[in-house]
Amino acid sequence: MNKKYKLSDFDYNLPKELIAQEPTTPRDYSRLLLLEKETGEIVHKRFYDIVDYFKKGDLLVMNNSKVMPARLIGKKETGGKMEVFLHKFIKENNWQCLIGGRGARPGLEIFFSEDLKCKVLKNNNDGTWDVEFNMEHGEMMKVVGKIGHVPLPPYIDRISDFGFRISDKDDYQTVYADDKKIGSVAAPTAGLHFTPELLRKLKDKGVQIEYITLHVGLGTFAPVKIDDITKHKMHAEFVEVSSGTLKKLRKAVNENRKIIAVGTTSTRTLEAFSEVIQSSPVKRAQAKFTRQASTSKIQNYSDWVDIFIYPGYKFKIIDAMITNFHLPKSTLLMLVSALAGKENIDKAYKDAIKNKYRFYSYGDAMFII
C-alpha cells in the first residue's frame, strides 16, 4: 500500500547562495547528478557526459515551446510605472493578465509604446485581470516581440526596477525552441542544458529525438496550499503532439525501447497522452516494462492537460527523465519523487546541497535513470 504524503513532506532547506542567478556557460558544462531510481545510487558528472548514458534506439522527448516576452512595462497617464504580465489569450485582443504596480482598476489605461496600450476590464479576484489591447492578436504579438521582456522567476534577482536584462532573452530559452511554437510564460528549464553540438552527438549515437509542445503556464508553478496533496488541482496547459511523433512513440513502446523525457512538461504530456500512445495497460516487472501499443491510425493530437503526478503514480510511458532541482513543496518536486522514489529524491537533494549544486531554473541538472 502506498504511503500518503503530506505537503510538509516535500519541504527542505536550501541555502540562498545555491539559487542560481546566472546560467552556466557553455550550457552543457552544468553539473549533472545521475540518480539510479532502483538502487538509489548517485554519480556526479557534467551535463556533456550525459551522452554516455544513452544507447542507440533510445527515444528522447523534448518540449519545443518558445517563451514569449510576456512582461510588458508601461505607464499610467499619470506617469506611474505598471507591469502587465500576459498570462492567457482569451480572444481577439483580450488577454488574462497579472498586473503589477499601484492603482490597478477597471477602466485604467496602460501605455507601453506609441502604438500599444491596454485597458483594464475587470478584476477576476484570483490574482488575474482581464484586459483589452488596442491591437488584434497577430499585430500585437509583433509589437510584444520587440518591447516585451522575458518573464524570469522571482528568485532570479536582477538589479533593475523590473528585474530583467537583454541577455536573458537568449539565456532563458532552449536552443531547440521553435519560432512557430511561441506560447510559454516560463521556460521548460531542463532543456536549457542542451547545446546544438550535444544534440548532434546524441543523434550520431543513434538516439531518436522527438518534440512535443506544451505551453508552460503560471499554473505549473502555483503553490500547493493544502496539506492533503491529493486534493491539489493543476491548472490546464495546452499541448500539441504531431501524428508523426505519436507514431514513433508507439513504435518505441512496441519495441520496448527506452523513452526519456526532458523535463516535467514532457513527462506530463507523455503520461497524459498514454492512452493515445498505447492501448493496453502497463505492466511493471522489477525495473522493466512490458508494453504493447495498438497499431491503429494516429492523427495529430492536441488537448488541455492538467495531470497531477505525485508519489504512488504508476508511470505508463517514460522510463527516465532529465530534470532540474525544484522548489520545496512544489508539484514538480512531487513528480520527480513519484518517478525516482521519495527517499531517493530526499537523499539526492541532500547530496546536491552538500556538494553545492546550483538549484532552480538556471541551475544544474539531474538524470533519473
- The CA radius of gyration of the chain, in Å to the nearest whole number, is 21
Amino acid at 160: S
H or E segment to which residue 304 belongs: strand 301-305
Neighbour-count burial for 82-109, b at 16+ CB within 10 Å, e otherwise = bbbbbbbbeeebbbbbbbebeebeeebb
Q: By CB neighbour count within 10 A (0-12 exposed, 13-18 middle, 19+ buried), where does 194 fall?
A: buried
Q: Dihedral angle at the C-alpha atoms of 187, 177, 82, 166, nearest 10 degrees?
A: 100
Residue with cell 499554473: 219
Residue with cell 504579438: 141
Give 3-state DSSP helix, strand, coil % of the chain, rounded to 5: 30, 25, 45
Cell numbers placing 147? 518591447
**How far, in Å, CA of 145 to CA of 182, rounded?**
10
Catalogue all structural domains in the chain, each as residue range(s) with its CATH number.
7-67+173-368 (3.40.1780.10), 71-148 (2.40.10.240)
**How far, in Å, CA of 247 to CA of 178, rounded?**
21
**How far, in Å, CA of 256 to CA of 247, rounded?**
14
Cell numbers placing 213? 509542445
Tens-binned pLDDT, residue by residue, of the chain (369 aa): 467 899 999 999 999 999 999 999 999 999 999 999 999 999 999 999 999 999 999 999 999 999 988 889 999 999 999 999 998 888 889 999 999 889 999 999 999 999 999 999 999 988 889 999 999 888 898 899 889 988 888 788 765 545 566 778 889 999 999 989 988 888 999 999 999 999 999 999 999 999 999 998 876 667 788 999 999 988 888 899 999 999 999 999 999 999 999 999 999 999 999 988 885 444 333 333 344 455 456 678 888 899 999 999 999 999 999 999 999 999 999 999 999 999 999 999 999 999 999 999 999 999 999
Q: Which of 129, 126, 81 is nearest to 102 (CA)?
A: 81
